[in-house]
A and B are shown apart, each in its own frame.
Chain A
Amino acid sequence: MSEKEKIRLSGRIDSNNAPQLETDLLATLAGKNSTAIEFDAKDLEYISSAGLRVLLRIRKTYPDISIVNVSQEVYDIFDMTGFTEMMDVQRAYREVSIEGCEEIGRGANGRIYRIDQDNVVKVYKNPDALEDIKHEREVAKLALILGLPTAISYDVVKVGDSYGSVFELLNARSFSQILASEPEKMDWCVDEFVKLLRKVHDTEVPEGKLPDMKETAISWVQFLQDYLPNREWMKLMDLVQAVPKDNHMIHGDYHTKNVVLQGDEVLIIDMDTLAVGNPVFELASMFNAFIGFSEYDHVHVLHFMGFDYETSTEFWHRVLKAYLNTTCEAKVREVEDKARIIGYTRLIRRHIRRGGLETPEGKAEISFWKQKLISLIDNTDNLTFSLDEFETDASTERLADVQQFISEKLERADCPMKVCMQIEVAVEEIFVNIASYAYAPLSGKAKVRVELSDNPSSVSITFIDHGVPYNPLAKVDPDVHAEASDRPIGGLGIYMTKKMMDDVTYEYKDGENILTLKKNL
C-alpha cells in the first residue's frame, strides 16, 4: 500500500541547512512506500534557492508532491519561480470569524454569511471541504463561461475548524429578503426568478462536465427500497429510470435564498449542486424548498426563508405557472405532481438518514410524506412534461381542464372565434370517446398535445392514450340524409369532427392510440 507521507517544514530553509534537510528527508522516506508527499509549510518562514533545489530533487523521486499551508511570502517565491505550475502549492488560509454575521443563504453543503459590506463567506459543513470548494469553483466558472450570472469565489479561508470560500457580493439582497420585507414585489420576483431559471435550463453543458441528476435521483430511490411497498418502489424506480437523458443544466438547489439582487443584476449563487438533467428534478427540489419541507410543520419555511407558508405557497404556485407559461391549473397540477414524486422521495431519505425514524414526530412526518408519495406513484405514468402537452386522467370530469389547456394556446395564437368553437366541439368528441372507452371498465391517462405551425398557419391537436386499440375513423360515415329515426345511434360525432377539421389521422404505435386533428388557421 502506498500512502501520502506528511512532512512539516519549518523556520528558514537556506544553503546552511538545505543539505541537512535533504539528508533528513531521504532518511525519513527511506523504507517507506510513500509515493506522495505532502509538505506542511505552516511554520516555514523562508525558502532560498538552495531549498527550492532540494524540493525539485525530491520531486524527481516522488513526483506527487504537494505543499500546503504556504504563507503569502513563500507562495510568492514558488509562484515566481514556476513551482506552482510544477507541483500542487496551496496557500495558507486566512482566518475569518463569522461571529455576529448575518446568515444570508443556506444550501445542502453549507451556509453563507455576510462578513462585511462587500463580501460574503460560504462556510462548508464538511470539515474536509477543500475538494468541495474546488468543485464549486470549477462549476461556477463553467456556469459563468456558459453565460449564467453568478459569483465566483476569490479566496479560501478558514472559519473555525471548517473551510469557507469568499465571494464579492456588493449590497446584494436575496429574493427571500425581498419577499419577506417587500411583499408588493412578488410579481417582479416571480418574473425574474423564472427568467433566470429558464436561462439555467436552456444552458447546454458539454458532456461529462457536470454530474447527471438522474443518477443521483436513482440513488435516492434505491435508499427507499426498504421503506416503500415493493410494488410502488418498483414503479418509482421505473419512473425515474424512464426519464430521458438531458444535457441541460439544472441548479439543484434553486430557491429564493440562492437568487440575489446585486445592483440591478439578478445573480444565482451556491453553485455546488450544479448538474445536468430533466427540469423535473429541479422542480422537485424547488417544491421541497417552498412546500415539501414545511408541508407537515409550516413553521419550517419561516425559519428557513424568512417568509410564511402562505407566501411560500403562493410564490411557488405563481413561479410554476409562469415557468410552464400557462394559467391552466390542471396543467400546473400535472407537473407539480411529478415534481412531488421526486421531492418526497428525497425528503423521506433525508429524514431517515437524519434519524427521523427514531422520534415519534419524525415518524409522523415521514409517514405523512410516504402516504402522499404512494398515492402519487399509483397515479402517475411518467415523470416528464412538456409545455405543449397536458396529461390527465382519461375521465369526462377532466374535459374542462383539457379545453382550458387547449383554448389558452389557441388564444395566444390569435385563433378566430369560429375555429376555436369548431375545435372545441371536436376535442369534446374525441376526449369523451377516450374517457368512455379506452380503459373501460378501468381508468388510465390521456395526453393532449397542441402544436402550432406557420406557413400555412395551422394547429394540430394530438390525443394519445394507452387503452385498447381503436380507430374511430374506421367507422363508415353515417347516412346523414336518412331520417333521424332510421339512423343508428353514435358515429355522428366523428363524422362532424371530420367535416370541421381539415385533416384527421389515426395510428396505433408502440401500444398507443394516436389521433391527430389538424385545422388550418
Chain B
Amino acid sequence: MKIDLHMHSLVSDGTDSPAELLAKVREAGIGIFSLTDHDAIKGCMAIIGLLQEGDPAFIPGAEFSCRDELGKYHILGYGYNVRTGAMPGFIESSHNLRMQKLEARLDYMESELGISFPVQAREELFSLDNPGKPHIAKLMVRYGFAQSKEQAFYEILNHLPVLTSYIRPEQAIEAIIAGGGVPVLAHPSYGDGDQLLMGEEMEQRIRRLMGFGLRGLEAFYSGFTPQLRDEILGYADRYDLYVTAGSDYHGRNKMIVLGDTGLDETETRTERLESFLKDVMHEG
C-alpha cells in the first residue's frame, strides 16, 4: 500500500487546497496519508470534513520549525486530537509567534533600513496563513528594493537581527504528546534548510530529542539517498524508534511527486512503520 505522511497544502507553503490535495491523494492511489502544514491545523480540519466512505485513511498531522542553541529541527506531530487538548492551542500560539516575527522584521526594515511596503501589500502578507522570509523577499523585488529574491536574502533578510523568541523542540514535542499525538523528527539528515547531519552529530541529536519524548524518525523521505535512508533506519533500530515515510509534497512549489517517499514495494524494513501506523490510527 502507498503511504505518504508528509505533505503541505496552501494553508502553509503548498499550492493545493486541502480539497485539491485530497483529490490528488485519491488519484495517486495512496492508502494512508497525513497533511502536515507548518504550524497549522486548518487544513486537517478541512480534510476531515471532506473525507468520504472508502477514502484513504487520514492521520492528522503538523510540522513545527523549531530551534534551540544547538540547531534547527523540523518536528512532525501525528494522530493528535484536532479539536480539544493541547494541540489546537499550541498551534495557534506557534502561528502567532510567526506573525510576531514577521511584524518585527517588517518594523526593523522600515525603521533601520528605510524599506517599507504599501499598506495593502503589508495586509496581504498578514492575511497569508504562513508568511515568512520568502514572501518578504518577493515584495522587495516587486517594489524595487532588490533585483532578485536571492539578492534580497543575501543583502538584507539574512542580516536582520535574530529574534530571540522561537519554538524550542522540547516545546513542540511536549505539546504533541500532551495533545495525544506522536512526535517524529522530520527528514533527520536535513535539519532545517542548509543543515546536513550525519554520523555522531545525528546520533547525539536523536538521543537529545528522545530525552524530550521523541518517538519516531522519518527514514523514508523523497530527498534521501539510499545511504541517508539506511543510516536513519539504523538509528531507529538502535534506539527502538518508530519509522515514518513522507514525500514533503508542496504542490507546484517544489518538484516533489506526491507519494514519493523512497519506500517501494520491495522494501522489507517496514516493521517500525507498521507499528507506528497501528499506534496513531488506533489512538488517533
Contact = CB atoms under 8 A, between A and B. Distances in A.
Interface residues of A, number: 26
B255 A81 contact: no
Prevailing SS type, chain A contact patch: helix
B225 A53 contact: no
Nearest to A57: B255
Interface string A63-90: 0000000000000010011110110000
Interface in B179-202: 189-191, 193-196, 198
B196 A48 contact: yes
Contacts, number: 73
Contacts of B189: 49, 81
B226 A48 contact: no
A82 B228 contact: yes
A16 B195 CA distance: 13
Interface stretch (A19-27, A146-154, A347-355): A19-27
B255 A49 contact: no
A81 B196 contact: yes
A56 B225 contact: yes
A52 interface: yes
Nearest to B253: A19
B223 A53 contact: yes
Best-buried of B149, B225, B254, B260 by chain A (most CB within 10 Å): B225
A56 B223 contact: yes
A49 B153 contact: no
Interface in B142-163: 148-150, 153-154, 158
Contact of A50 (B194, B222, B224): B194
B234 interface: no
Contacts of A49: 189-191, 193-196
B178 to A, nearest CB: 31
Given A48-B194, A56-B225, A82-B225, A26 B255 contact: yes
Nearest to A58: B255
Given A49-B194, A60-B222, A86-B225, 20 more contacts: A14-B193, A16-B150, A16-B154, A20-B149, A48-B195, A48-B196, A49-B196, A50-B190, A52-B190, A53-B190, A56-B222, A57-B222, A57-B254, A57-B255, A58-B255, A60-B260, A82-B227, A83-B225, A85-B226, A85-B227
The 8 tightest CB contacts between A and B, nearest first, are A82-B227, A48-B194, A15-B193, A82-B225, A16-B153, A53-B223, A57-B255, A49-B190
21 contacts: A15-B193, A16-B153, A16-B154, A17-B149, A17-B153, A19-B254, A22-B254, A49-B193, A49-B194, A50-B194, A56-B225, A57-B223, A58-B255, A80-B198, A81-B189, A82-B228, A83-B225, A85-B226, A85-B227, A86-B225, A86-B226
Interface of A: 14-17, 19-20, 22, 26, 48-50, 52-54, 56-58, 60-61, 77, 80-83, 85-86
